[in-house]
Amino acid sequence: MNRYLRASSTIEYDPMCDKEKPQRISFEDVSAAAFRIQSEIVKTPCVKSHMSTTFGMEIYLKNDFLQHTGSFKERGARNALLLLNKETKARGVISASLGITRRR
In whole angstroms, what is the distance from residue 65 CA to residue 42 CA? 10
Give tens-digit pLDDT for 9-59. 555 666 667 778 877 888 999 999 999 999 988 888 999 999 999 999 999
Give tens-digit pLDDT for 66-92. 888 877 788 888 999 999 999 999 999
Q: Which of 40, 34, 58 is nearest to 48 (CA)?
A: 58
The DSSP code sequence of 74-95 is: HHHHHHHHHT--HHHHHH----
Q: Is the pTM of this model over 0.85?
A: no
In whole angstroms, what is the distance from residue 25 CA to residue 57 CA? 27
In whole angstroms, what is the distance from residue 73 CA to residue 62 CA? 13
Name the β-bridge partners of 48: 60
